[in-house]
Amino acid sequence: MKTVEKIKKNSQFKYIYNRGKSISDPNLVLYIVRNNKNVIRLGITVSKKVGKAVVRNRIKRLIRESFRLNKNKFKYGYDLIFVARSQARKCTYRDMEKSVLFLMKKGDLLKESE
């Protein structure tokens, strides 16, 4: 079974924006809603304010890769949306990974240490 699914529909994004709890750092904003399933549903948003298509796609790739490599550390049963801020265009992979882990920890979404 898949443990991570993509959020694609506009209605799902709107639901999470309206009902979700938001947490932020200088690079990203994270919206969280419990989904009562055994999966994490992930959405990533990068607005045109951040940069042109090449920059926006790079940021999305960095967020996805940071999430993918650390997904075994995260609790399941949540819908998550990462929204990139304009400062994210200057991020390296390490900066993005730190931001993702910081937001997941702040949102109490990291599993307890085994």
Name the residue among 70, 66, 73 with its Cα closest to residue 112. 73
Structural domains of the chain in order of their starting residue, each with its CATH number: 4-106 (3.30.230.10)
Name the residue among 81, 79, 82, 77 with its Cα closest to residue 39. 77
Distance, CA of 99 to CA of 48 (rounded, Å): 21
The reported pTM is 0.92
pLDDT, position 80: 96
pLDDT, position 36: 87
pLDDT one digit per residue (tens) for the chain, 114 residues: 568 899 999 999 999 999 999 999 999 999 999 998 889 999 999 999 999 999 999 999 999 999 999 999 999 999 999 999 999 999 999 999 999 999 999 999 998 864
SS (H, E, C) 50-64: CCCHHHHHHHHHHHH
pLDDT, position 3: 81
